[in-house]
Amino acid sequence: MMPILESDAGSKPGASERLVEQPRAQVKKAASVNIQSDRDILSARQQGRALAQQVGLTSSDQTVVATVISELARNILLYARPGALTLGVVESNGRRGIQVEARDHGPGIPDIERALRVGYSTSKSLGLGLPGVRRLVDEFEIVSKPGKGTVVKVKKWK
């Protein structure tokens, strides 16, 4: 499965999905949270918000980061338990931001295109999870191997 890299939040899915060699961003790992219950979702997003605050993201973007973490953690809880979120501070060309990596060993997503379409959901959620997350962040990357698991990596820059 090829990774889908997306650096332009809000652009049309499909048309803009492309493989781009991004300039290597330095990632400093800050926290890792295993997602095994709904309490872990809460803990992850509180840690994420604190980190976003440290990095200097606006209060609005802190909420965005917390919301993204909530959605990604819930995906793990619903489809691919157990999994973990890794939160980190990224730095590239003097810019700082937050990286959230959600890694699970679940069934994988057979059709990523479809999973990224608004309204598509295999569970009882609204089907807004992944497409919504993609709209909220600056960079979005997903790699999924059926039977092996999924890694979603997103960045929100200051």
Partner 1 sequence: MEVPILKQGPYLIGSVQSALTDADLLQLRDTLVEKVGRFRSLGVIVDVTAMDVMDSFASRTLSDIAHMIRLRGAETVIVGIQPEVAFAMVQLGLTLQGVTTALDLEEGLTFLDRRTKKHGAHSVPRPR
Interacting residues with partner 1 (CB under 8 A): 38-39, 41-42, 45-46, 49, 59-60, 62-64, 66-67, 70-71, 74, 118, 125-126, 128-129, 131-133, 135-136
Q: Is 40 helix (H, G, I), strand (E, B) or coil?
A: helix
CB of 13 to partner 1, least distance (A): 13
Say how far apart CA 106 and CA 115 lie, in whole Å.
Answer: 15
**Cβ distance to partner 1 smaller for residue 34 or 92:** 34
**Cβ distance to partner 1 smaller for residue 92 or 121:** 121
Say how far apart CA 155 and CA 158 lie, in whole Å.
Answer: 10
Read off the DSSP letter of residue 112.
H
CB 105 within 8 A of CB 145: no
CB 71 within 8 A of CB 135: no
CB of 99 to partner 1, least distance (A): 18
**Cβ distance to partner 1 smaller for residue 4 or 64:** 64
CB of 123 to partner 1, least distance (A): 11
CB of 102 to partner 1, least distance (A): 14
CB of 35 to partner 1, least distance (A): 12
Structure tokens at 89: 């501070």
Place of tokens 């309490």: 39
CB 126 within 8 A of CB 83: no
**Cβ distance to partner 1 smaller for residue 74 or 148:** 74
